[in-house]
Amino acid sequence: MLKVWLRGLVWSGFLGCVLLLVACSSQRINRAPVEDRGVNAKPASGAVAPATPVVKQLPGFENAGKPGYYTVKPGDTLTRISLDNGQTQKDIVRWNNIDKPNQIEVGQVLRVVPPVTSAPVSQVGVVTRPVTSSGAASAPTQPDTSAAALKPQSNASASGEDHVDWSWPVNGPILASFDEIKNKGLDLGGAAGESVMAAADGKVVYVGEGLRGYGKLIILKHNNTYLTAYAHNQALLVKEDQSVRKGQKIAEMGSSDTDRVKLHFEVRRQGKPVDPVKFLPAR
């Protein structure tokens, strides 16, 4: 009897569990709604959509690729850009309204030629009739329409390429000749402390060490066409905006940022390096 009673008890417990599971499965399960996070999903009502990142436009971007403009590349400095374009650093700063010349950005576009100013309109065709002492009007003065009067200025005059009276900046031997790719000027030998002289009359437009590979550097502007550069000095004896005369001592020869005492001398025609030997007098 005891065994029968135990079996009944076990069977009743098993049956109760089965009934409980069936009852639970019959209840409706409320699931949390699924939110679509895909790219095409719309934000929920009241939610704020993430802001689209704003792309920074660098100064002068609208002039990229236009003639007379230069896009800053990695490693550029205003000194380098000025020298390569035959301009003064102060002019480029002024033309581009640059507040911090040492913080130009890669991709920034700079004006490297002077802004064009419109010339005053001449009164061609206006007839004047000056009154003579007798009170009668003289014959009308016609505008000069001859070929000579209408001939435009020559390119040399318009660009300011006037005559420059050149001289050698030092008397030492040529250590390395001009090469458009490897050596953009002449390397001239001499002793430390030897005088470096201005190769022509001009104005000092740069004094400093801001151009890698040139050491202590001086740049002179002779006119709107020609610049000269004097590199690797040990002492700089002039200041920016100072006017100098041909043969005036402007520096002392040295070995700054190079492996030996020498003067690296460049002539730049509208920013492009040219062979100084073609300009300097024969020795």
* pLDDT greater than 80 at residue 26: no
d(CA 184, CA 162): 23
**pLDDT band with cut points at 50, 70 and 90 for residue 85:** very high
Residue 212: what pLDDT? Answer: 92
Q: Do residues 124 and 142 make contact, with C-beta atoms less than 8 angstroms apart?
A: no
Chain segment 152-183, per-residue pLDDT in tens: 333 333 344 578 999 999 999 999 999 999 99
Question: Tokens 């939610």 sit at which residue?
Answer: 47
pLDDT tens, position by position, 233-271: 999 999 999 999 999 999 999 999 999 999 999 999 999
DSSP label at residue 183: B
Residues of the chain with CATH 3.10.350.10: 61-111
Tell me which of 166 and 26 has the higher pLDDT: 166
CATH 2.70.70.10 residue ranges of the chain are 174-278
For residues 111 and 113, give the distance between their C-alpha atoms in angstroms, rounded to a whole number: 6
The pLDDT > 70 percentage for the chain reads 65
Find the range with the poorest average confidence among 48-57, 105-114, 133-142, 205-214: 133-142
Report the alpha-carbon distance of residue 24 to residue 28 in Å, rounded: 9
CA dihedral 270, 276, 282, 283 (to 10 degrees): 140
pLDDT at 44 over 50: yes
Residue 202 has pLDDT above 70, yes or no: yes
**What was the pLDDT predicted at 114?**
92
What is the distance, to the nearest Å, from the Cα of residue 91 to the centroid of all Cα atoms in its chain? 12
Quote the percentage of the chain above a pLDDT of 90.
58
Q: Is the pLDDT of residue 123 over 60?
A: no
According to CATH, the topology of domain 174-278 is Glucose Permease (Domain IIA) (2.70.70)
Architecture of the domain delimited by 61-111? Roll (3.10)
3-state secondary structure of 9: helix
Nearest 5°: phi and psi at 85? -110, 10
Q: Give me 106's structure tokens.
A: 């890669």
Q: Measured at the alpha carbon of residue 280, what is the angle toward residues 275 and 281, in degrees to the nearest 5? A: 140
Check residue 126 and give its pLDDT.
Answer: 47
Residue 57 is predicted with a pLDDT of: 83
Pairing of strands 243-244, 202-208: antiparallel
pLDDT of 12 reads: 56
**45-56 residue pLDDT tens:** 666 666 666 667
Cα 41–45–49 angle (5° rounding)?
Answer: 55
pTM recorded for the entire structure: 0.67
Most confident of 6-10, 13-17, 179-183: 179-183
Q: What is the mean pLDDT of residues 196-211?
A: 96
